Amino acid sequence: MSQSEKPSQKKESVDTGIHTNFKDDMTYGDYLGLDHILSSQKRLSEHHDEMLFIVIHQTSELWMKLILHELEAATKSIAGGELEPAFKMLARVSRVQEQLIQSWDVLSTLTPTEYMEFRDHLGHSSGFQSWQNRLIEFSLGHKNERALLVYQHQPELYHRMEKALHQPSLYDVSIQQLANRGLPIDTNRLQRDFSQDTIADASVEAAWLTVYRNVDQYWDLYELAEKLVDVEDRQQRWRYNHLKTVERIIGYKTGTGGSSGVTYLKRVLDHRFFPELWNLRTQL
């Protein structure tokens, strides 16, 4: 054996500064609560692929928690006339949405045959009941009072949902800023019932058109508009990937929660959160 072929005799370097005594100190796992998190994947069947199903949905809920954290702060910032801090928050929301979009690619590795091995164990539980996803939609202005019915068995959660239903959305406070900058917005739009779904308004579309046609004058409002479009675009892509994943795995079966499944998801795709921001593109 030549010199170049001999096994290396060099000892692995050791970082002597690494802390190893955690008898009285908090560890990485302690800080993150990993014992609790990693023991929360409880399969109801013996099927191997149920673990995938649980982990995808649990991690999605964690990402949704962060989205809600950012949307709440962004809405408060915009309502207070502080647009710049909201831009970073909304940009982060868009990045998190990308993670959610990609999660469907992982779940789609589950075949129809594999899913049917444990689907009956889910009972009537369904992603349709995700209250965090519902709160995200409320935050973006897609309100639906009837959606609260599935939470009536949980009074504390029900009241939280009800409160969110009646609060101004991210889009409502953005439109208020248009008015605050002197752009004419119909009084009925500004004083609308916030528990109702967002409906396209001619005065709002005209105001956004003014912003887009006078970018230098309204640069911050223009940037806000594009951040809103980013968020909606990704939310729609998440919806679409959800639809295609469900179609790939269960076809047109009724959902476990009783929804019409793919048929329902197709209807949802036609909904717009910020309709005027999309309508104006035809007129520019």
Q: How far apart are CA 30 and CA 250, in angstroms?
A: 39
Q: Output the CA angle 215-230-132, nearest 5 degrees.
A: 135
* 8 A C-beta contact, residue 218 and residue 210: yes
DSSP 21: -
Mean pLDDT per 10-residue section of the chain, whose length is 284 residues: 56 75 90 96 97 98 98 98 98 98 97 95 91 97 95 96 97 98 98 96 98 98 98 97 94 84 87 96 94
Q: Output the CA angle 148-151-153, nearest 5 degrees.
A: 135
Q: Is 57 annotated as a binding residue?
A: yes
Neighbour tally for 101: CB within 10 Å = 17
pTM above 0.95?
no
Would you state the pLDDT for residue 148?
A: 95
Q: Is 256 annotated as a binding residue?
A: yes
Q: Is 115 annotated as a binding residue?
A: yes
Q: Is 36 annotated as a binding residue?
A: no
Q: How far apart are CA 30 and CA 27, in angstroms?
A: 5
Would you state the pLDDT for residue 223?
A: 98
Would you state the pLDDT for residue 24?
A: 86
Q: Measuring CA to CA, which residue among 229, 225, 236, 169 is closest to residue 197?
A: 169
3-state secondary structure string across 180-197: HCCCCCCHHHHCCCCCCC
* 8 A C-beta contact, residue 249 and residue 115: yes
Q: Is 54 annotated as a binding residue?
A: yes
Q: Which residues contact 30 (CB under 8 A, 6 or more apart)?
A: none
Q: Is 53 annotated as a binding residue?
A: yes
Q: Is 56 annotated as a binding residue?
A: yes
Q: Can you state the angle between helices 219-250 and 202-213, rounded to 10 degrees?
A: 120
Would you state the pLDDT for residue 32?
A: 96
Q: Measuring CA to CA, which residue among 141, 136, 64 is closest to residue 96?
A: 64
Would you state the pLDDT for residue 8?
A: 55
Compute and round to an integer the Cα radius of gyration of the chain: 24
Would you state the pLDDT for residue 5?
A: 55
Evaluated on CA atoms 157, 158, 163, 168, the torsion sign reads positive
| Amino acid code (one letter) for 36 | H
Domains, the chain:
46-127+169-282 (1.20.58.480)
Would you state the pLDDT for residue 156?
A: 96
Neighbour tally for 216: CB within 10 Å = 6
Q: Is 199 annotated as a binding residue?
A: no
